[in-house]
Structure formats: C-alpha cells, structure tokens
Amino acid sequence: MQIFLDSTDTKVIADLASTGLVDGVTTNPTLIAKSGRPMLEVIAEICDLVPGPISAEVAATTADAMIAEGQKLAGIAPNVVVKIPLTRDGLIACTAFANEGISTNVTLCFSPTQALLAAKAGATFVSPFIGRLDDYGFDGMDLIRDIRTIYDNYGYETEILAASVRNVAHVKDAAIVGADVVTIPPAVFSDLFKHPLTDKGLEQFMKDWAGTGQSIL
Ligand code: E4P
C-alpha cells in the first residue's frame, strides 16, 4: 500500500519524506488556507520534496473552469495530480483530463456509485472520505470495501485512495480491505511507528547490552 501525507506543511513533509516511506502528498483548499502561503508556490515546493504523486485541488465548480485551472496546476511539475470534486462537472473535467493524459484525484467521494462514476470517467485516484463518514455515524470502511469489490468486478484501474484518515486503526483497516493508497495527517504517520512493547523491549535490550561492556564498532 502506498502512503501519502495529507499536508501542506513543507517542513514537516521534508522531515517525514526523509524516512523514505512517503510515496506522495495530498492537499486541499483548507490545507492551503492553513499554510497561509500562495498555492502555486507551496505545490511546487512539495513536488520538489517528494517525487511521487502530489494532489493539487481546483477551486472552480464548472467543468470548463476546472479544466483551465487543472491545466495550469498540471504545468507546475510532472508529478502534479489534479484534484477535482466528485460532481457532475467534476467528472466531465475528469474525462477531459484523462483524454489529455493528465492524472486526476476525484475527491469528496461518499458512495460506491459515485466511485463507479469516477472510474468510468477515467480517474487515476478516487478519494473516499472515511473519517467524515464515521463522524456521521456511518462506517467509512464499508465504503472502501464496496469500492474495492466494484473495481475488482469490472477491472477498473482507478486507485482507491483512502482519505480523511483520523488514526492508526483507519490505516490498518484500509490496508486489510485493500485500499491502494492511504493519505494521512503527519501526526498519524508518526503514530504508525509507535508501540509501547517496542519501547519496553528496546529499553531492556539497551540495559542488558550496556551490562556486557561490549562495543560493536
Ligand atoms: C484528502 O485528500 C483530504 O485532503 C483529506 O483527507 C480530508 O480529511 P479531513 O476530513 O480530515 O479534512
């Protein structure tokens, strides 16, 4: 499974990318607003930091305007993925991008049939929002499971990008049900490394090793 960071914080992205475990980055208008920086500059910087797919979201709502914005965003760097909302206009734009060979991430997906349409429109990625569904009393993981079944039934190549991830359990469950990618906030990425038994075991090993008085180097 590929792991993307859901962030526009370039310092944090640079730090976490240095682990060699970050495959891409997703952004959205809220995260751009949080950065307080010009979008085109932030996206260009992220594209330099991480060679994988970097999602940059259009701000328009009509197909023609989305296409114009998406073409500009795609011109920033070869690894830009144009992120478009899962609306009728968004899917018209998605088909146009697919015909032009521009990669897309269809976002704000909340139902299996929306995901079916995104695949038919030639989306590179579809982003089902797990956490926001959970917040409303649904099970976000059911959506990932249903999309996996539909895509496998028909051989769609659109990659399932589990989004709106809130915790380590979401990452584990998304991996079990077969999401292709998970995009996670930096704090959740850092949590993936942690286990109290790892800390406890390491502490004991270090104590016992110190008692031997040996040195490997
Ligand atoms: C994904 O591409 C979105 O940017 C993101 O995962 C949304 O997450 P949120 O529901 O925590 O805002």
Q: What is the mean pLDDT of each run of 10 residues along the chain (217 residues)?
A: 98 98 98 97 98 98 98 98 98 98 98 98 98 97 98 98 98 98 98 98 98 97
pLDDT tens column, 198-209: 999 999 999 999
Whose Cα sits closest to atom 12 in ligand 1?
164
Distance 164 CA to ligand 1 centre (A): 4
ipTM of predicted assembly, 2 dp: 0.97
Distance 205 CA to ligand 1 centre (A): 40
Evaluate: CB of 158 within 6 angstroms of ligand 1.
Answer: no
> What does pLDDT average to over the chain?
98
pTM: 0.97
| Most informative mutation of 28, 81, 104 for ligand 1 (most atoms within 8 A of CB) | 28
- Which residue, among 65, 100, 99, has the nearest Cα to 84 in the 3D structure? 65
Domain 2-212 superfamily per CATH = Aldolase class I (3.20.20.70)
Buried b (16+ CB within 10 A) or exposed e, 175-206: eebbbbbbbbbbebbeeeeeeeeeeeeeeeee
